[in-house]
Amino acid sequence: MNTIARIRPWLAWTLWVVGLTCIMWCGWVTAKEKSFQVEQGRLLDRELSSPPSIRLASRPAANSTVAPNLIGRLDIARVKLSVMVVEGDDEETLNVAVGHLPDTPLPWQSGNSALAGHRDTFFRPLKDVRVGDEIVLTSLHGELHYRVERTVIVDPQDLSVLKPSVKPTLTLVTCFPFFYVGHAPRRFVVQARRLGAEPRPVDTGSQPRPRIHATS
């Protein structure tokens, strides 16, 4: 009994330290996400507001196989999703943005372009996406508009959703179930077709700022 009484204060102190550490870590992660999103959003807005001659000189060629680090801004207005997209699908990238899968075409190119994001941060709003929703990807090549054609749940080994397509397609991938504790066993996929063959000019006066709609 005396032993338990001696251990109790130390146990309480240890739990308090662990709890405080977790809170500080979550705060640091959230601050890092927001800082990166704001920085990339400002970079895109600055490039889009520059004179056309400078913008054309700074953007990569549409058929270039070398991807720029900043892909653009992804918006799905109905589910209040707005997030910056950058190149890469490694963990460090996905902790601060939505990532373009390097083995798929860039969004302004033809084919099936795939983007990945975490279900507990940037892609949490995808749980409310419906067929028919409009997706807008704003890039230095212009605005790319898509219409959601289907949502599907697949196993991680099922790569059929990434296969090449004749029509310009945007595929969004995240883990599923959305509220699963631990490593989610399946993948939630949104597939959308591009509306129009060419990107539309960007209206620089009405660009939304990126928002973070969930915390990890």
Q: Residue 37 in contact with residue 84, Cβ under 8 Å?
A: yes
Q: Which of 118, 141, 145, 183 is catalytic?
A: 118
Q: Are strands 98-100 and 112-116 parallel, antiparallel or unpaired?
A: antiparallel
CA distances from 181 to 100, 192, 216 (A): 25, 28, 11
Question: Is 183 a known active-site residue?
Answer: no
> Would you call 175 a catalytic residue per the annotation?
yes
* DSSP 8-state assignment for residue 216: -
The residue type found at 29 is: V
CA atoms within 13 A on the CB side of 197: 1
- Spot the catalytic one: 100, 175, 183, 213: 175
Neighbouring residues of 203: CB distance < 8 A, sequence distance ≥ 6? none
* Catalytic positions: 118, 175
